[in-house]
Amino acid sequence: MKFTIYGSGCAKCKQLSDNAEQAARSRGIDFEVEKITDTNAIIDAGILRTPALAIDGEVMLEGKVATTDEIDQLLS
């Protein structure tokens, strides 16, 4: 599974990444994390608000830091 975190690299982006990793670990899922900080790449992905989370290429969340439980629900 691949998580892509879109954002500037701020504290909210880091928290979203940490929450995604924790949710995957709790389910025993193998994963990798890619962090996209380039503004043009974020725009090209269609992201309007950051931080954003994509799972396996599909944007699941924009403009908020999802909790570990919220990300766990997306994984189920």
For residue 76, what are its two tokens? 């189920």
Catalytic residue list contains 66: no
- Segments making up each domain of the chain, as ranges: 2-75
> What CATH fold (topology level) applies to the domain 2-75?
Glutaredoxin (3.40.30)
User: For 3, which DSSP code?
Assistant: E
Are 72 and 22 in contact, with CB atoms under 8 Å apart?
A: no
Q: What integer pLDDT is reported at residue 55 of this predicted model? A: 96
Per-residue pLDDT tens, the chain, 76 aa: give them.
Answer: 999 999 999 999 999 999 999 999 999 999 999 999 999 999 999 999 999 999 999 999 999 999 999 999 999 8
Are 62 and 50 in contact, with CB atoms under 8 Å apart?
A: yes
Catalytic residue list contains 33: no
10, 29, 41, 43: the catalytic one is: 10
pTM recorded for the entire structure: 0.92
HEC profile for 29-65? CCCEEEEECCHHHHHHCCCCCCCEEEECCEEEEECCC
